A and B are shown apart, each in its own frame.
Chain A
Amino acid sequence: GAVVSQHPSRVICKSGTSVKIECRSLDFQATTMFWYRQFPKQSLMLMATSNEGSKATYEQGVEKDKFLINHASLTLSTLTVTSAHPEDSSFYICSALGDFGMNTEAFFGQGTRLTVV
């Protein structure tokens, strides 16, 4: 199956600093990538949809200036959490959409556990 690599898997940062998370589709081109956030024992919540070469579409309630998304190529999207605070501590997961002939399917990265101290 298709592989989506997310890096780093875990990161601890100080309050007020910024953290960048990368999401790469390794063996397919992804024109669209999705960023999710998941709090403990909660569902995956879609934060934004990222399209290659254009601005991301953010879900209601997600601050675009705080969660910067860049989708510069067909295989890479990045999420930068700016001026992180303890309440931003969460599990962040990306998903990349690939077109495989008859099927279009989204595959998840491994997730990034962010802890802000």
Chain B
Amino acid sequence: GQNIDQPTEMTATEGAIVQINCTYQTSGFNGLFWYQQHAGEAPTFLSYNVLDGLEEKGRFSSFLSRSKGYSYLLLKELQMKDSASYLCAVRRGGSYIPTFGRGTSLIVHP
């Protein structure tokens, strides 16, 4: 099976930086996704990591360490609209189906 763990809730200040961690245990790892989901909406794709290292995309960056079963999503220059749930999802080898973590609810306040 797969175990995916991420914090339930985080708060941060507008303009600041926040790091959302995700740890996982899985057999045959084949990639890790980060999605953003606003309340009542479907998730939207943010990033995909399959190799170790940092991938940067504008204000958002995602890091992966396969040996540690660890990833983080880094959000810079936080904006109020970044208040959402951030889902970490892990894909196993031979499957296109990612398994989702419970999500981290991020609250950005002024």
Contact = CB atoms under 8 A, between A and B. Distances in A.
Contact of A108 (B43, B99, B105): B43
Interface in A10-67: 32, 34, 41-46, 49
Contacts of B96: 32, 97, 104, 106
A93 B105 CA distance: 19
A115 interface: no
Interface residues of B, number: 16
A76 B80 CA distance: 36
Most B-side CB within 10 Å, residue of A6, A42, A97, A108 = A108
B86 to A, nearest CB: 12
Nearest to A6: B42
Given A32-B96, A34-B97, A44 B43 contact: yes
Nearest to B91: A106
Contact of B42 (A43, A46, A93, A104): A93
Contacts of A80: none
Q: Which residue, B99, B100, B101, B105, has most C-beta atoms of chain A within 10 A?
A: B100
Contacts of A49: 97
B97 A43 contact: no
Given A44-B87, A46-B97, A111 B42 contact: yes
Contact of A42 (B41, B43, B44, B102): B102
Given A43-B87, A43-B102, A43-B103, A109 B97 contact: no
B94 interface: no
B40 to A, nearest CB: 7
A31 B87 CA distance: 25
24 contacts: A6-B42, A32-B96, A34-B97, A41-B103, A43-B87, A43-B100, A43-B102, A43-B103, A44-B43, A46-B97, A46-B99, A49-B97, A97-B96, A104-B96, A106-B98, A107-B45, A108-B42, A108-B44, A109-B42, A110-B41, A110-B42, A111-B40, A111-B41, A111-B42
Interface of B: 40-45, 87, 96-103, 105
Interface of A: 6, 32, 34, 41-46, 49, 91, 93, 97, 104, 106-111, 113
